[in-house]
Amino acid sequence: MVLNIVTAGGFDFGLATDAGDQVIMAQLPADQLDPLRTSPSQDAIALLGGNDVFENDDTGRIVFGNTGNDSLVGGAGNDTIYGGQGEDTIIGGAGNDVLSGDRNFDTLTGGAGADEFIMPSSGENRDLITDFQPGVDKLRLPDGVAFTDLEIRGFGGNTEMVRNGGEILTVLQGVVASSITTNDFIGEIGETEETEETPPGDVTPGFEPSTAGDLGVLSGTRTVQENVQGGSFEYYRFTLDQAQDVELTLSGMRENGDLRLYVGEQQPDRSVEIGNEIESSMNSGSQDDSITRSLDAGTYFVEVNGMQVFFNTDYTLTFDATL
């Protein structure tokens, strides 16, 4: 592939075609590379239309994928790569790179170095980042989005950046949600406050799975003190952001109550509904019920079953998660 070299506005532009091009910088002829190497201007490669394949050499460059589903790979230099429209795969390579998927669903890999990932402003342009390193790499917040607008939550061994409780902007593959702090972001942080662990009893159970009391990401020990009516069910849900050993204990009931654990199943709209039962504990009388399981990252539901309770009875439900 031969690029059309144009110098304008302080940049040396290497222009591809509107077709699907393959551009390997190290394989370009000398009359193509020499103007780029000898010019003091910044190199910028524009791939235009088509599903393009681009691989940079060791010179740091700006790369624009533009339209099409492109594969864009940086080199050892400090590259800045924009995917443009289409579902792109972007790899920064060695060096301190700046990567932006831009439009549509893109997959970004920073590679070695301290990289900066530009987050999209809407869920329709969601990015998957495969190798984010907390404390090393950075997430740049888009205009109009502050850190305080985001919910950072674990799901399925990954971390999701959710805007205002709805749109998923970015997914960090294999990253534990609790490892992400404000120091991992660039942009408008906003006013943040210290949050205290929810005191026992402040989570209200639901009478059906869809309204289950949400304990959020479970870490350490949480205790809920509640009251169940005879002949009814009460539901809770919790999320693990990594695989952990979980022990559930139901105690203090005057009559025969049962404890059941269910897996959560993700729906096409990314909501989570109750799935199959994993395990139950059905000790008779006022004996404590307990369940101990090694669980993968994900969302789970807990049922306090009062179908064999004739009168209202208090109970204590303890959630304990350990690595």
Note down pLDDT in tens along the chain; length 323 residues: 668 888 777 788 888 998 899 999 999 888 888 888 888 888 999 998 899 999 999 999 999 999 999 999 999 999 999 999 999 999 999 999 999 999 999 999 999 999 999 999 999 999 999 999 999 999 999 988 999 999 999 888 899 999 886 899 999 999 988 889 999 999 876 544 444 444 444 688 998 998 999 888 888 899 999 888 767 889 999 998 889 999 999 998 776 778 999 999 877 766 788 999 999 998 876 789 999 999 998 899 999 987 776 667 788 999 999 98
Range of the domain at 35: 4-186
Interatomic CA distance for residues 128 and 134, integer angstroms: 15
Residues 154 and 225 in one domain: no
Q: Is 204 within the bounds of a domain?
A: no
Residues 219 and 162 in one domain: no
Q: Residue 202 domain-assigned?
A: no
Output 278-284 pairs: Cβ under 8 A, ≥24 positions apart: 281/250, 282/258, 283/256, 284/256
CATH at residue 275:
2.60.120.380
- 191 within some domain: no
Long-range contacts, stretch 155-160, CB < 8 angstroms, 24+ apart: 155/239, 155/241, 155/266, 155/297, 155/298, 155/299, 156/266, 156/297, 156/298, 157/241, 157/242, 157/243, 157/296, 157/297, 158/297, 159/241
Residue 270 to residue 216: CA distance in whole angstroms: 16
Residue 14 exposed, middle or buried by CB count within 10 Å (0-12, 13-18, 19+): buried
CA 258 to chain centre: 35
Q: Do 177 and 213 reside in the same domain of the chain?
A: no
CB-side neighbour CA atoms (13 Å) of 62 = 12
> What is the CATH number for 104?
2.150.10.10
Q: Report the distance separating Cα 62 and Cα 216, nearest Å.
A: 41
